[in-house]
Amino acid sequence: MSKLIKTITAFFISKTILVVFVAVLILALPQLNIQEYVLPTITSKTIYFLYGTMMLLGLHSLTIFFSKNIPFSFTKIDIALLILVFYISLNRYFIQSHYGFSLRYIELLGLSFFYIVLRTISLKSYPWLLLAVIVSGIIQAVYGNLQLLGYYPSNHSGFKMTGSFFNPGPYAGFLVSVWTIALGMYLFKDYVIAEVQSQKKCSSLFLNEVVKYTFEYIPLLGIISIVIVLPALQSRASWMAALVVGGLLLELKYHYLEIIRRKTISRFHKTSMIIFLAIIISTGLYGLYYFKKGSSDGRVFISKVTTEMIKDTPVFGVGFDRFKTYYMNYQANYFVRNGETSESQVGDNVYYAFNEGLQFVSENGFTGLVLVVIVIFALFLTKFNEKLLRMSFIAKGSLVTIGIFACFSYPFQILPIKLVLVLLLSLLSNSAEDIFHFNIRENKRSYVSYKSIYLLVAFVTMYQAFVYIKDLNQGFITWGSALNSHRYGDYKGAIQKFESGYPTFKKDGDFLMNYGKTLAMAGEYTKAISALEQAKIYQNNTVIETSLGDSYKATKQFNKAETCYIQAINMTPGKFYAPYLLTKLYDDYRHKEKAIGLAQKILKKKIKIPSTAIEEIRLEMKEIVKKYKNPLGFKN
């Protein structure tokens, strides 16, 4: 019996179980897409990540219990990250006037626990964890190819290949973050293999060969499989990140810039080289811009509107994950001031700024930006152990990849990418030379007290977290079921399910929008107005405004209906649906001049993407004009 206890104790002290569990979590999480959840590509990943994190916390607590000492260590990176998370929480709950349900904030808490556990794992385990990331990327690349070939369905009607993500953007972001890890591991494979082999107690030739081929060919397979997929995704941000960081890692390995510098002796050669590189880079950027010009213009426009948000709340921003609450109102105000400019053709409902830096500042202000800059300085100025320099190259290169991608997309909204990010941060923090640490040893009187307090706090936290996650899990399933009932026209059944999920999501803008729209479709307009007005506190878009307009119209509140429809028009003036609804409102209330004027405007409106719905709207507008005797100057 004592031998068994010693074996169990040794197993937990070695933390092998932690490493295995983390590797499984990293490997499995990106693949999750459980259809019974609402937004399954997002929420199913979050739920199982939260469950996994709590289990990790429990396992970590057991390692503390079986340890003969309780080690505590922290670096400048840890301190900087702690201050940043503390500020985000303080700003969200105490500085801002409102806060809503935020899946991003829940993920932030889970990732913080995940980071704490990772910081207790030995550096010798990190090559295996990075290998798990690469295998996860290979699985996603194969899955994407099978979608392209028609063997598996895509998660987006407009794209053939999305992996287990909701569109090609986050899919490409995840793959490129994995690709740079694979490239770094392959370029520095000799060092990685030597380090892993030196850590094994057994000097078996066979095991050494297994390690060698594992760490040589899996990264190579990751490089090749992801390179095959990335071009088909048409993600310019991922291409740019791959090229820049790929070149950076090659430079760190082969020092080709130094070789070129030595060979270009004369000033003429150096000048010619600089001009040539400038032309190549300019041509590449120009080509990337015009490859998807509409998308590029749309993102430039979003950035312009986001800067208006920042100007109004420069110090603390609007609050973490509150971008979607305010953005569409700012976009509407922009078009009210400037009229229906050419930018109206790219204006749409927006949930992300497509630039994580701008979105972060809009939500957390320049105070948050200063703290992020401190974190970046801590990451890139901290001294690292000379033996771990190549591992730090891989981690920093991958962080730069995510950073470049973040300038043009929204990787910090995607959990698998954030999981990779946290792994890289913990690797760098574990590699730092400047570590502040102390131990609470068994021979100290307070040892038992410290251990007891820690275990008590850990298990109370776990219990409360599991209860909350269980409710959240059931809530997402109920919400998904309610939307299915809505799609099949069972509005009564959908309302019952929405009411069941209401206590959990009463501060979630998306939930309240879905609930309110269902109530409106069921003819319960008073309740719909209440739910949709509540939704506007946490989020606003044209769906909410038009549904509110419909509900106010049904309850004979003309002025409020008109206001809602006008706001929806101002949000996306290039669209047809909101002007159509407003014209019908004027027609129903016999506002002749307003109905005719708006109908004529719709008929003259530029069509960006032709559709049957637009043609039907135009036909109805012609009928309205005819009904009012075809005013002078109008040609049918």
Write the CB contacts of 361 (distance below 8 Å, at least 6 apart in sequence).
Answer: 310, 317, 368, 369
Domain ranges in the chain? 2-452
CB atoms within 10 A of CB 217: 12
Residues 303-328 have a mean pLDDT of 95
- To which H or E segment does residue 467 belong? helix 447-487
Which amino acid would we find at residue 416?
P
Residues 65-84 have a mean pLDDT of 82
Write the CB contacts of 330 (distance below 8 Å, at least 6 apart in sequence).
Answer: 305, 306, 308, 309
If pLDDT is split at 50, 70 and 90, which confidence band does 46 have? very high
Cα separation, 537 vs 546, whole angstroms: 16
- To which H or E segment does residue 471 belong? helix 447-487
If pLDDT is split at 50, 70 and 90, which confidence band does 488 have? very high
Cα separation, 144 vs 138, whole angstroms: 10
The pLDDT of residue 443 is above 80:
no
* Residues 178 and 136 sit within 8 Å (Cβ to Cβ): yes
Coil, strand, or helix at residue 99?
coil
If pLDDT is split at 50, 70 and 90, which confidence band does 421 have? very high
At 57, list the tokens: 């916390």
Per-residue model confidence as pLDDT tens digits over 344-356: 887 789 999 999 9
Q: What is the DSSP letter of 606?
A: P
Write the CB contacts of 120 (distance below 8 Å, at least 6 apart in sequence).
Answer: 15, 18, 60, 63, 71
Strand positions, DSSP E, 75-183: none
Residue with tokens 């901290």: 382
Q: What is the DSSP letter of 384?
A: B
The pLDDT of residue 633 is above 50:
no
The pLDDT of residue 314 is above 90:
yes
Cα separation, 220 vs 81, whole angstroms: 33
If pLDDT is split at 50, 70 and 90, which confidence band does 270 have? low
Question: What pLDDT is attached to residue 484?
Answer: 95
- To which H or E segment does residue 303 belong? helix 293-312
CB atoms within 10 A of CB 192: 24
The pLDDT of residue 52 is above 60:
yes
Per-residue model confidence as pLDDT tens digits over 148-183: 988 999 998 888 999 999 999 999 999 999 999 999
Q: What percentage of the chain carries pLDDT values higher than 70?
A: 88
Nearest by Cα to 109 from 59, 160, 54 = 54
Dihedral sign for Cα atoms in the order 67, 73, 78, 84: positive
Strand partners, 426: none
Note the Cα 28 to chain centre separation in Å: 18
Q: What percentage of the chain carries pLDDT values higher than 90?
A: 60
More confident residue, 414 or 348: 414
Cα separation, 305 vs 332, whole angstroms: 10
Residues 541-562 have a mean pLDDT of 95
Cα separation, 556 vs 550, whole angstroms: 10
Coil, strand, or helix at residue 34?
coil
The pLDDT of residue 629 is above 80:
no
Cα separation, 342 vs 320, whole angstroms: 31
Average confidence score pLDDT of the chain: 87
Residue with tokens 């769906």: 543
